[in-house]
Amino acid sequence: MAMSQTKPATAKGAAPAADIAVSVRNVSKNYDDVQALKDLSLDFPRGELTSLLGPSGCGKTTLLKIIAGLLPQSAGQIEVDGKTVTGPGPDRAFVFQDFALLPWANVLRNVAFGLELRGVAKSEREAIAEKYIREVGLAGFEKSFPHQLSGGMRQRVGLARALSVDAQVLLLDEPFSAVDEQTRRKFQEDLLALVANEQKTFIFVTHSIEEAVYVSDQIAILLPRPSRVSEIIRPSSFRNKGVDNIRRDPEYLDIVDQIWASLRSYVE
């Protein structure tokens, strides 16, 4: 069957047979009087990329930071591999929207920084960092400083840093929103290759419908005030037709239209 499966979020236990890497159970988040997330539950299958998509202010970055352990939730719990999250942990790595590079450190130290904080010896962490610098295509820039790189290259540094700590779950917070359109397309293709090659779980926050449909195995649509999962979409047919054909695939176009139809009333 080459049909996309769409299911309402309330249908619990209907997740695919694949095992669950990250599970969000009944999470709420209040800022003073404002309820940002309300009783939100969502499962993230292992080895897949799940997008959190929604209009601005729908709490998708808040949810991601709660999963990362950077923000405490007000109620509910997060489990990664069955272990409850109480704070940042070695099983998760974060890629930041504004890259969050240390301006006073060169590329090599920036990429190795996660390992440095874990107390890995200098020679060892630099060897690992160099491997991932090559992998993201920045070989030769090890001694450069962030201000000498373009936006796209800076985000490659951020990506290499997240990969080098070898976490099972990668959390990406609108990682391509600060780079130009062409660089972004290249990133999206690289991301698909990364998902295919690494046995990691990706959670990807974006506000671009096309981007979400292009890169995701599963898309969770979040609606705002208070934020909840309104729909989970699993594209199925175009994933293995090759990166060049996705944007022309009828199913791809249908899903984009369908998501826009359900979001348009929330865009002012």
Under a CB-based contact definition with an 8 Å cutoff, are residues 229 and 51 in contact? Answer: no
For another protein, the closer CB: 27 or 153: 153
41, 76, 141, 145: residue in contact with another protein (rule CB under 8 A): 145
Binding pattern to another protein, positions 188-227, x when CB under 8 A? ----------------------------------------
Among 42, 52, 120, 165, binds another protein (CB under 8 A): 165
Rounded to the nearest whole angstrom, what is the least distance from the CB of residue 113 to another protein in the complex? 7
- Cβ(147)–Cβ(103) below 8 Å: yes
Q: Is 88 in the site for another protein (CB under 8 A)?
A: yes
Min CB(61)–another protein separation in Å? 11
Q: Does the footprint of another protein cover residue 44 (CB under 8 A)?
A: no
103 binds another protein (CB under 8 A): yes
SS (H, E, C) 33-58: CEEEEEEEEEEEECCCEEEEECCCCC
* Position among 26, 86, 150, 245 found at the interface with another protein (CB under 8 A): 150
Cβ neighbours, 10 Å, residue 122: 11
CB of 118 to another protein, least distance (A): 7
Query: For residues 83 and 199, what is the distance between their CA atoms, to the nearest angstrom?
Result: 19
Per rule CB under 8 A, is residue 54 in the interface with another protein? no
Can you tell me which of 20, 39, 74, 100 binds another protein, judged by CB under 8 A?
A: 100
* Token code pair at residue 89: 């942990």
CB 27 within 8 Å of CB 75 = yes
DSSP E strands, the chain = 5-8, 20-31, 34-45, 49-53, 75-80, 83-84, 92-95, 169-173, 201-206, 218-223, 228-234
Strands of 201-206's sheet in order across: 5-8, 228-234, 218-223, 49-53, 201-206, 169-173, 92-95
User: Which of 123, 147, 261, 264 is close enough to bind another protein by CB under 8 A?
Assistant: 147
79 vs 116 by CB, closer to another protein: 116
Binding residues for another protein, rule: CB under 8 A, are 65, 68-70, 87-90, 92-94, 96-105, 113-114, 116-118, 145-147, 150-151, 154, 165, 178-179
